[in-house]
């Protein structure tokens, strides 16, 4: 029963939500809207379970002083501090001067910017390794990337007699081959999402139930 009931509920709810795109009825749309609102409520409960799981996983590491336990302490302090600031602020927590907004603007945003600035060095390193002209495909990618980067900066665009052609080539690369590749990736991702959704609805995919 523990496996059958979730599979049946998933099948029924999945069919109802798919039917929203094919049944243009006001009552049916109201029913799916109600189901979506319940989904938001369940997701909020999942966030609460995530906080509990976070504490259960990290507290033993702090208590037993395992390697890098001090980072766990910093994370727990940040978690508790953010929760307290959010509860104290209430509905006005996003107003100027409130504690929650201060934590977000002056702690989270700078830390996030720092993380992405460090990520730029890893991207540059990966690009250096990927752009080596080892074969024909890598050579094409190297030449295209060099042209796009050169035309995207003011120095390349202002080269006398060449800059305007570089910009035109860059625009063509971004609009035609790059756009075609992006669309192919999006179509493939959409087909994969549809296939995964059908497998879950039909009960073929049961990893979310703890099975294989």
pLDDT digits (tens, 9 = 90+) for 152-175: 888 887 888 788 888 899 999 999
Residue 102 tokens read as 């201060």
- What is the extent of the structural domain holding 122? 68-130
Whether pLDDT at 206 is above 70: yes
Domain presence at residue 152:
no
116 domain residue, yes or no: yes
Q: 54 and 98 share a domain? A: no
**87 and 49 share one domain:** no
pLDDT at 93 over 50: no
Q: What is the mean pLDDT of the chain?
A: 84
Do both 47 and 104 map to the same domain? no
Alpha helix stretches (DSSP H) within the chain? 4-19, 26-63, 69-89, 99-103, 109-130, 136-152, 154-157, 163-175, 177-201
Give per-residue pLDDT as tens, 10-56.
888 888 888 888 888 888 889 899 988 998 898 888 888 888 999 99
- Boundary of a domain, candidates 102, 130, 158: 130
Quick check: 83 pLDDT over 60? yes
- pLDDT of res. 211: 55
Q: Are 205 and 196 in contact (CB under 8 A)?
A: yes
pLDDT of residue 90: 59
| Residue 177 in domain | no
- Of 66, 87, 122, at which residue does a domain stop? 66
Which of 92, 110, 130 terminates a domain? The answer is: 130
What local confidence, expressed as pLDDT, does residue 100 receive? 79
pLDDT at 76 over 50: yes
Same-domain status, 97 and 78:
yes
Residue 206 lies in a domain: no
58 and 77, same domain (yes or no): no
Same domain (yes/no): 40, 28? yes
Q: What's the domain count of the chain?
A: 2
73 located within any domain: yes
Contact 166, 156 (CB under 8 A): yes
Same domain membership, residue 7 and residue 59:
yes
Q: Tell whether 3 and 62 lie within a shared domain.
A: yes
Classify the phi-psi angles of 174: left when phi > 0, otherwise alpha if psi is within -120 to 50, otherwise beta.
Answer: alpha
């Amino acid at each position: 029963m523990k496996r059958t009931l979730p599979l049946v509920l998933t099948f029924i709810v999945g069919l109802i939500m798919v039917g929203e795109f094919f049944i243009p009825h006001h009552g049916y749309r109201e029913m799916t809207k109600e189901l979506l609102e319940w989904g938001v409520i369940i997701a909020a409960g999942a966030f609460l379970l995530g906080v509990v799981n976070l504490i259960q996983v990290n507290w033993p590491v702090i208590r037993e002083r395992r390697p890098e336990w001090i980072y766990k302490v910093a994370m727990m302090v940040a978690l508790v501090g953010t929760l307290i600031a959010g509860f104290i602020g209430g509905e006005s927590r996003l107003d100027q001067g409130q504690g929650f907004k201060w934590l977000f603007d002056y702690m989270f945003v700078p830390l996030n910017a720092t993380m992405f600035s460090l990520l730029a060095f890893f991207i540059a390193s990966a690009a250096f390794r990927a752009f080596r002209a080892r074969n024909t495909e890598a050579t094409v990618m190297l030449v295209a990337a060099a042209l796009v980067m050169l035309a995207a900066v003011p120095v390349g665009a202002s080269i006398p007699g060449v800059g305007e052609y570089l910009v035109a080539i860059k625009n063509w690369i971004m609009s035609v081959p790059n756009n075609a590749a992006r669309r192919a990736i999006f179509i493939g991702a959409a087909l994969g999402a549809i296939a995964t959704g059908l497998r879950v609805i039909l009960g073929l995919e049961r990893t979310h139930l703890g099975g294989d």
